[in-house]
Chains A and B, each alone.
Chain A
């Protein structure tokens, strides 16, 4: 909007300038010419007036002179004619003079004075001639003398000439003034023209310079986009409405074996049949004719290197700038490797799904197994124990000590097997159930486990050293089991110490992982068997030394594994053991339950 306004004003200003430059000098020159012509006219007229006046004076004097010659008798017909000529010609000349000076009242007055003098002169001269004819020379002489004395004509003639000269001088001065004005105006006009021309020249120079800069910039941009197009690794090409190449970048030429210099090759013949797909060609024609964009058309192409490539074709219609003919911009994305990777990922996913199914199958079977164990396996044990008792009661006094011992062993074994089953079920459940993650206060878990461990023993001196322990993220019940096992073990295996020392500490490593340690000064173990420590029902001590069935540390390891941590131990036989376990760093703030 603003730009068009400016343009309109600029055009109006330019028109005005042209008008001033061309129009003003014309008008001024025109006026000047007219003035000059008038001045010339005035000079001619003044000269004519003066000539006429002198002619009147001459004719009158000549007739007067002729009359005097006639008077002295020295005359012929020619002289007579001369004497009469003034009276016939002068009145007409006087009339002429009056007309010529009709615009000048001052001259009219002088002309009237002249006319009076001339007429008087002429009348007395006529009287003198007639008196001469009547042979009265004295009367005639008197008349002529009277004419000279009474009607003087020199003064009015001089006045008229003088007036005319003065008028001429005045007019010349006026004409000079006008000429001066005119030349001043012309000078100013010329200066203005010069200025305008300079402005126009400077402006157009600047415009041209600006356009040149723009053109340079444009050509540079064109060069740059050409370079970019050539450098792009994706094949890109431009085709005309007959699907003949206009432009193809290096990647396109390389992929389809084209000569980069050669233009106007039909697409269908490129790359040894890579573009012979009729559906694709139809779609590309649609893009050109109906302006339908082609999005991600999948195609397997055999390119000139003999490789089957999985490509994705995109195409859209463009207008060619100069001709407005439609052109087709075609890009080719080689997704062969991506497709391969996708295929591999799919395959891996499929395998993984299979594994997951297997795992959940196994889990289901385990669950069914546990259910069956808890319901069915325990009942017969109960029956063994129960009926052993009934047998004992039934036999009563008939039962000797040996028989009673056998029955006791039977009942005790059933009891022990029931405990083993219970432990196995707990172990199995730790592996199956979902982790219920929450913020867990390790300090209170340790306090709790310590109280429980101490409640089972009497008359023992145990020195506890428990460091301040952090909050962690985990399954509270499971972590409680960990502490209960580790602390009750520590209490159990220091049973033969006079003063048991049990120390609980924690360290945090650079990653934020926690490492907890339970150290005791108890029986320890031989590191040679350390790998058996965490196995199910594995024991490093005889039941007669330390009771237990070897499930506790297996549970501990299973729990920590499920938490992403691990457990290990170091010990020396007779010099205590150190159990360490780690828990990975977790975002406490983000895991509140």
Chain B
């Protein structure tokens, strides 16, 4: 079991500042799982399908995808739609991590099959707490089905 490659936490975030804060928060959580940061939806799918820049990464799915909504090229909703439509990717947990607290964004995320929706708090402490908890929950506490 320990021999097996540890699943990654995939952070999909176009804002470098947000990404840096999130990485800080995750490293605060002292997780064993590596954190991988990609900058938009296209990159995210490349990673999930191990293609393009990620062709050599192997085929292990991430433990969780922390997905921003508003991104250039391909946004979070499009990524989520494609993942849920794909037999291989549909079971990967996806947590929407967004600045928006608009009802329409929440509803759409849940409708598309997100596993959680977390609003990024402006308050630094709250933000750190939120991201740390997320990482711990999805990487450690949550049990995902064996990869098929």
Contact = CB atoms under 8 A, between A and B. Distances in A.
A379 interface: yes
A379 B15 CA distance: 9
Interface string A283-313: 0000000000000000000000000000000
B101 A422 contact: yes
Contacts of B100: 371, 374-375, 378
A378 B99 CA distance: 6
B98 A386 contact: no
Contact of B17 (A378, A383, A422): A383
Contacts of A415: 122-123
B99 A386 contact: no
Question: Interface residue tally of chain A, by bracket?
Answer: 20 to 34
Contacts of A382: 18, 21, 99, 120-122, 124, 127
A382 B121 CA distance: 7
B103 interface: yes
Interface in A336-382: 370-371, 374-376, 378-379, 381-382
A376 B122 contact: no
A371 B98 CA distance: 12
Interface in B108-131: 120-124, 127
B122 A375 contact: no
Contact of A386 (B17, B69, B105): B17
Q: Is chain B's interface secondary structure helix, strand, loop, or mixed overall?
A: loop
Contacts of B122: 378, 381-382, 385, 414-415, 418
Interface residues of B, number: 20
A518 B125 CA distance: 38
B146 interface: no
Interface string A416-443: 0010001001000100000000000000
A26 interface: no
A492 interface: no
Contacts of B101: 374, 422, 425
Contacts of B87: none
Contacts of B124: 382, 385-386, 388-389, 411
A58 interface: no
20 contacts: A371-B100, A374-B105, A375-B70, A378-B122, A379-B17, A382-B21, A382-B124, A383-B17, A385-B123, A386-B17, A386-B124, A386-B127, A387-B21, A390-B21, A411-B124, A415-B122, A418-B122, A425-B102, A429-B102, A429-B103
Interface of A: 370-371, 374-376, 378-379, 381-383, 385-390, 411, 414-415, 418, 422, 425, 429
Given A382-B21, A390-B21, 14 more contacts: A371-B102, A374-B99, A375-B70, A379-B15, A379-B99, A381-B122, A382-B18, A382-B124, A385-B124, A386-B21, A387-B17, A389-B124, A414-B122, A429-B102
